[in-house]
């Protein structure tokens, strides 16, 4: 998902006329979308690390 938003932002900036007065809107939307995607990706990675891995069951030593 993160890469899709980065690719979209790159496409939006490349295909727009950056010399027009409204170019800042395109760049702003592309940046906000990319930053949101990166934050979402980081949250998902952190959640994956927090989940405990199943530990093998130990038999009591006798």
Report d(CA 34, CA 44) in Å as an integer: 15
For residue 10, give Cα distances in angstroms to 7, 15, 34, 40: 5, 9, 10, 19
| pLDDT, tens digit, 9 for 90 and up, residues 20-46 | 888 888 888 888 888 888 888 899 888
HSE toward the beta carbon, residue 29, CA cutoff 13 A? 9
Return the domain boundaries, the chain.
Answer: 2-50
The proportion of the chain whose per-residue pLDDT surpasses 70, expressed as a percent, equals 76
HSE toward the beta carbon, residue 8, CA cutoff 13 A? 16
pTM of the complete model: 0.57
């Amino acid at each position: 998902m993160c890469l899709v938003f980065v690719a979209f932002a790159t496409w939006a900036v490349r295909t727009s006329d950056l010399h027009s007065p409204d170019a800042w809107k395109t760049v702003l939307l592309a940046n906000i979308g990319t930053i949101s995607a990166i934050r979402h990706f980081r949250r998902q990675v952190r959640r994956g690390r927090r989940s405990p891995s199943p530990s093998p069951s130990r038999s009591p030593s006798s």
